[in-house]
Structure 1
Amino acid sequence: MSALPTPATDTSQSSKTLRTDRQGPILSIELNTPDQGNAITETLLDELLAVLDTQDPDVRVIVLSGAGPDFCQGGDRSEYAEQLAQDPTGGGIRISGTKARRVCEALSTNAAVTIARIQGKAIGAGLALALACDLRVGAENATFRLPELALGLPTAWGGLFPRLLSEVGVARVRELILTSRAFTAQEAHAFSILQNVVPEPDLDTAVTAWAKPILRRSTTALRVNKLLFNAHGAASRLVDASGLDAELMASVLAETEYLRSQGQRRTGRLI
């Protein structure tokens, strides 16, 4: 967890996929399944929603991090397969997609300032979680990737696409999505995906450097400025189709699974 100044209130909790640490006005949320690359599952989404929906109004800063070598390696594709097996029309994927959007909106519209602390890999949905945060610091050796097209998927998770266009720009986003290439922390900084890049041992120091002045700001002024950022960010988008993310993901995966099953039947193989 981030080594931030320790106020009087100090509470820590662990769940199946998260570890939270409350130190006064600072709430640290750590994705805590490092053996799975902190992959995003429905359980993780449920637990993130539970934390963010019941957040104490006195929290001024939220730090989102990942345990182990990687921040987050993206969505759990094995869970997608299980959801399709249970409902070939993609109903389960639609439900998960709606939760993903709720989580990202809870981070981006949060009254507290949200900070993503990134090391190792931030891939796909993991990158979407980071982009939903107000401030993002990455280790010098961090890497990023948008692999959805290479996996036969739309870039549609948690409102990722409009955030990418808003933060990075159309031309660069087009290149990153069409090539599905990995890119470095230095490139991510140049693209405005990261606002700061530091050696990995200095990540906590960089987070603290942001958190300290934020805690001195007027609560009302901070909340109003966040509302202004969100309002003008939304206004700069001619169309925000992120509400379709869950439908797009479910439809593409359901069709892909249907075509795969048809091909297997033609060749005499079972699903």
Structure 2
Amino acid sequence: MTALPLRSLPSGSVRQTLRTRREGPVLTVELNTPEQGNTVTDALLDDLLAVLHDQDPAVRVLVLTGSGDDFCLGGDRGEFTRHLAHDPTGGGIRLSGTKARLVCDALTSNPAVTIARVHGKAIGAGLALALACDLRVGSEDATFRLPELALGLPTAWGGLLPRLINEVGAARVRELVLTGRAFTAAEAQSLSVLQRVVPAHELDAAVADWARPVVRRPQAALRVTKTLLNSLSAASRLADVSALDAELMAAVLAESRHAHGAG
């Protein structure tokens, strides 16, 4: 496919946290802070929102991946601490949580088919970003974990919990959340967290195998089918309180800071 230039993006620091590549109807978005394990910061969320907001309608497939050794090591706890130091009531945490939900919703409702290309570790918020995508392929050495409870946090980021329960099932999710144990790519596939597992050197080929037929589908039919799939998936949830994620995260962190003193 012939490489095409990206459309101009809203002002921001996209080149600092993301690397983007456009090949015909396929747009690859790479989390690009490998020295920090591609942790999720406000800057990264802003940049993702900018790319998704300005996405060319001609894009049929969007691939989300990470640079370096890991897909994403989760949220930046240092940034949480700084938010609380600036506003002990949790205002900064609420704003960050709202951005997280908007990013994940934008991936799920994206008119293009979204593919998560996962390698290394996908932890917490990193797992949430992958789970927001339509299709998810992981390398054989990929691992996953939900450590929030051990860190004194609720599992409330980007609508992760309702998506996970919908894909995996409540009983299995309960065990993963309460124990916080790591699980392998093979188990992730058995849980439907991943739909495919391949050797690391075959990740790009697996993505291409999915992208190739998708880009040939009639655009209107593809868009409507995605809308139907998302609507039916949402309808199968007994309750989706993900709109409260930001409030829950802020409340728990603010209470924890108060209990332990401002320090």
Aligned AA for 1:7? T
Unmatched 5+ stretches in structure 2: 9-13
1:7: how far off? 2.6
In the alignment, the residues of structure 1 paired with residue 5 and residue 122 of structure 2 have an alpha-carbon distance, to the nearest angstrom, of 29
Pair 1:43–1:136, CA change in 2 (3 A): same
Deviations 1:209-239 (CA, angstroms, capped at 9, x unpaired): 0000001111011001100111001100121
* 1:7 has 2:5 as partner: no
The aligned counterpart of 1:111 is 111
Q: Does the CA-based 8 Å contact 1:26-1:62 persist in structure 2? A: yes
In the alignment, the residues of structure 1 paired with residue 7 and residue 112 of structure 2 have an alpha-carbon distance, to the nearest angstrom, of 19
Aligned AA for 1:255? E
Deviations 1:119-146 (CA, angstroms, capped at 9, x unpaired): 0000000000000000000000000000
Pair 1:227–1:70, CA change in 2 (3 A): same
In the alignment, the residues of structure 2 paired with residue 50 and residue 244 of structure 1 have an alpha-carbon distance, to the nearest angstrom, of 23
Deviations 1:151-210 (CA, angstroms, capped at 9, x unpaired): 111000000010000000000000000100000000000000000000000000000000
In the alignment, the residues of structure 2 paired with residue 8 and residue 74 of structure 1 have an alpha-carbon distance, to the nearest angstrom, of 31
Q: Does the CA-based 8 Å contact 2:4-2:23 persist in structure 1? A: yes
In the alignment, the residues of structure 2 paired with residue 41 and residue 9 of structure 1 have an alpha-carbon distance, to the nearest angstrom, of 29
Q: Does the CA-based 8 Å contact 1:11-1:23 persist in structure 2? A: no
Note the 1:121-132 alignment, pairs <5 A: 121-132=121-132
In the alignment, the residues of structure 1 paired with residue 2 and residue 168 of structure 2 have an alpha-carbon distance, to the nearest angstrom, of 36
In the alignment, the residues of structure 1 paired with residue 191 and residue 256 of structure 2 have an alpha-carbon distance, to the nearest angstrom, of 32
SS for the counterpart of 2:189 is: helix
Q: Does the CA-based 8 Å contact 2:103-2:158 persist in structure 1? A: yes
Note the 1:55-94 alignment, pairs <5 A: 55-94=55-94
In the alignment, the residues of structure 2 paired with residue 224 and residue 242 of structure 1 have an alpha-carbon distance, to the nearest angstrom, of 24
Percent pairwise identity: 66
In the alignment, the residues of structure 2 paired with residue 79 and residue 220 of structure 1 have an alpha-carbon distance, to the nearest angstrom, of 41
In the alignment, the residues of structure 2 paired with residue 125 and residue 209 of structure 1 have an alpha-carbon distance, to the nearest angstrom, of 27
In the alignment, the residues of structure 2 paired with residue 43 and residue 10 of structure 1 have an alpha-carbon distance, to the nearest angstrom, of 23
Q: Does the CA-based 8 Å contact 1:12-1:19 persist in structure 2? A: no
Root-mean-square deviation (CA), in Å? Answer: 1.2
Aligned AA for 1:50? A
In the alignment, the residues of structure 2 paired with residue 16 and residue 255 of structure 1 have an alpha-carbon distance, to the nearest angstrom, of 33
In the alignment, the residues of structure 1 paired with residue 84 and residue 152 of structure 2 have an alpha-carbon distance, to the nearest angstrom, of 15
Aligned AA for 1:229? L
Aligned AA for 1:254? A
The aligned counterpart of 1:25 is 25
Aligned AA for 1:155? T
Task: Name the larger-Rg structure.
Answer: 1
In the alignment, the residues of structure 1 paired with residue 169 and residue 26 of structure 2 have an alpha-carbon distance, to the nearest angstrom, of 32
Deviations 1:43-93 (CA, angstroms, capped at 9, x unpaired): 000000000001010000000000000000000000000000000000000
In the alignment, the residues of structure 1 paired with residue 130 and residue 111 of structure 2 have an alpha-carbon distance, to the nearest angstrom, of 17
In the alignment, the residues of structure 1 paired with residue 200 and residue 136 of structure 2 have an alpha-carbon distance, to the nearest angstrom, of 14
Unmatched 5+ stretches in structure 1: 1-5, 263-270
The aligned counterpart of 2:255 is 255
In the alignment, the residues of structure 2 paired with residue 257 and residue 233 of structure 1 have an alpha-carbon distance, to the nearest angstrom, of 37
In the alignment, the residues of structure 1 paired with residue 136 and residue 205 of structure 2 have an alpha-carbon distance, to the nearest angstrom, of 13
The aligned counterpart of 1:227 is 227
* 1:53 has 2:53 as partner: yes
The aligned counterpart of 1:37 is 37
The aligned counterpart of 2:190 is 190
In the alignment, the residues of structure 2 paired with residue 161 and residue 63 of structure 1 have an alpha-carbon distance, to the nearest angstrom, of 22
Aligned AA for 1:86? H
1:11: how far off? 4.8
Question: TM-score scaled by structure 1?
Answer: 0.93
Q: Does the CA-based 8 Å contact 1:12-1:20 persist in structure 2? A: no
